[in-house]
């Protein structure tokens, strides 16, 4: 039987893609690998996984016949040491890094995705060493990569302004969103208890950069000024600044109406989004802000920030506010709760906005870079 010869061998860092509890970057890695299958079906593709955090049973889709999984073991410095060693002894033609960090040893054709420079704009939301590490890693990745993929025009501008990356070295490719954002029956007990409740919702890591304290203050304002019969649901694990957020919740006179549900699965997240009265996402900085589009896709009115990439990603389908002004967040949410015309308008515009984003389109554009002969 005639067989098409391999055009090239492509290595992909899949160490973030198949973790159990995915957040933004992990979700991107998972979705881009899943959708690249259609465009790299005739290439030899090697997925590099870290056996400490990855298990093959977490790969819940079929790989093309010429794709393979390679587990690379290393106690520390998995990317810079272990992946570099792999590149020395088993080089590939192209290396694709979906999340920030290119190894020191790499092929000439190496591509990296930069998801944002949050640590530069919200320095107080990161530890000292966290900032140093991210700056070191991303600056070097920008130098070493043949091409940098930015997930928004805002991130592209940040890279050019802060790190002096030439415009011709950057390719902006938007993130996508799942086409089938469906709901199935949930066994989530907290969700069941919310079924007949009105609630405001935030989904994401509970950390300082996400402005959780500002969201709580906005909720308190809504309670004190308008006495709204709503609860506030915070969905996500705690991150940097957790103690301050926990103290803020404990110190609120509406603590009993603030519900923490921890990390939620995709199914649970979709159920929460569909049940929410308003989705609050007034964070201080986002490289993209995928939860905005997820909320729009299921018909939830969104309040988000007027800074960084959020106006770009939200389009006309959200109310934009100054994230530093909790009263503005509250007033925007209240209008969407009480003004049916304004609410319907935002929901309809959100539905239209979502049409701009597709994981298939994202993967198609990424694949063009990877197999380009330029």
Identify the band that residue 13 occupies on the pLDDT scale cut at 50, 70 and 90: very high
Do 335 and 344 touch, CB atoms closer than 8 A? no
Give the burial class of 281: count Cβ atoms within 10 A of its Cβ; 0-12 exposed, 13-18 middle, 19 or more buried.
buried
Does 41 lie in the same domain as 58?
yes
Do 133 and 172 touch, CB atoms closer than 8 A? no
Query: For residue 188, what pLDDT is reported?
Result: 43
Q: Which has the minimum average pLDDT: 48-62, 63-77, 82-96, 240-254?
A: 48-62
Range of the domain at 344: 189-354
Over residues 256-261, mean pLDDT: 96
Provide the mean pLDDT of the chain.
Answer: 91
Does 346 lie in the same domain as 206?
yes
Does 208 lie in the same domain as 145?
no
Kindly give the interhelix angle for 266-275 and 290-297, rounded to the nearest 10 degrees.
Answer: 60
Counted domains in the chain: 2
Does 138 lie in the same domain as 31?
yes
> Using H for helix, E for strand and C for coil, what is the string for 121-139?
HCHHHCCHHHHHHHHHHHH
Does 284 lie in the same domain as 156?
no
CA distance linking residue 203 with residue 181, whole number of Å = 16
Does 284 lie in the same domain as 229?
yes
- Give the CA dihedral 342, 347, 348, 349, nearest 10 degrees: 90
145 found inside a domain? yes
- Give the CA dihedral 165, 166, 170, 174, nearest 10 degrees: 70
Does 79 lie in the same domain as 214?
no
31 found inside a domain? yes
Does 212 lie in the same domain as 165?
no
Does 259 lie in the same domain as 365?
no
Over residues 267-284, mean pLDDT: 95
Domain CATH number, residue 58: 3.40.50.2000
Identify the band that residue 194 occupies on the pLDDT scale cut at 50, 70 and 90: low
Identify the band that residue 182 occupies on the pLDDT scale cut at 50, 70 and 90: very low
pTM of the predicted structure, to 2 decimals: 0.90
Condensed to tens digits (0 to 9), the pLDDT of residues 195-216 reads: 556 999 999 999 999 999 999 9
């Amino acid at each position: 039987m005639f067989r098409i010869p391999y055009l090239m061998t492509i290595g992909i860092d899949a160490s973030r893609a198949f973790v159990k509890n995915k957040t933004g970057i992990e979700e991107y890695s998972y979705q881009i690998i899943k959708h690249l299958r259609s465009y790299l079906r005739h290439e030899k593709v090697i997925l590099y996984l870290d056996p400490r955090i990855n298990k093959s049973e977490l790969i819940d889709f079929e790989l093309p016949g010429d794709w393979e999984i390679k587990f690379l073991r290393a106690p520390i410095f998995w990317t810079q040491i272990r992946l570099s060693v792999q590149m020395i002894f088993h080089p590939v033609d192209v290396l694709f890094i979906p999340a920030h960090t290119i190894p020191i040893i790499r092929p000439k054709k190496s591509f990296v995705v930069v998801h944002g420079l949050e640590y530069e704009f919200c320095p107080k939301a990161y530890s000292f060493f966290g900032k140093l590490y991210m700056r070191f890693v991303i600056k070097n990745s920008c130098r070493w990569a043949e091409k940098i993929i930015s997930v928004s025009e805002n991130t592209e501008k940040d890279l050019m302004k802060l790190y002096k990356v030439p415009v011709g070295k950057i390719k902006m490719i938007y993130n996508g969103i799942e086409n089938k954002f469906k709901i199935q029956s949930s066994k989530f007990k907290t969700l069941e208890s919310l079924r007949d409740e009105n609630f405001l919702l935030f989904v994401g890591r509970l950390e300082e950069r996400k402005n959780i304290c500002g969201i709580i203050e906005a909720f308190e304002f809504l309670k004190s000024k308008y006495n709204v019969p709503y609860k506030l649901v915070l969905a996500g694990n705690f991150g940097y600044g957790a103690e301050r957020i926990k103290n803020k919740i404990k110190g609120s006179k509406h603590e009993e109406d603030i519900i923490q549900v921890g990390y939620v699965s995709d199914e649970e997240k979709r159920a929460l989004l569909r049940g929410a009265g308003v989705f609050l996402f007034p964070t201080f900085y986002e490289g993209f802000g995928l939860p905005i589009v997820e909320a729009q896709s299921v018909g939830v009115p969104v309040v988000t920030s007027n800074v960084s990439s959020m106006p770009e990603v939200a389009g006309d389908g959200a109310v934009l506010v100054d994230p530093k002004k909790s009263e503005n967040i509250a007033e925007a949410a209240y209008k969407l709760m009480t003004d049916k015309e304004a609410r319907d308008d935002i929901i309809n515009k959100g539905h239209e906005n979502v049409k701009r984003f597709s994981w298939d389109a994202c993967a198609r554009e990424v694949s063009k870079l990877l197999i380009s002969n330029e």
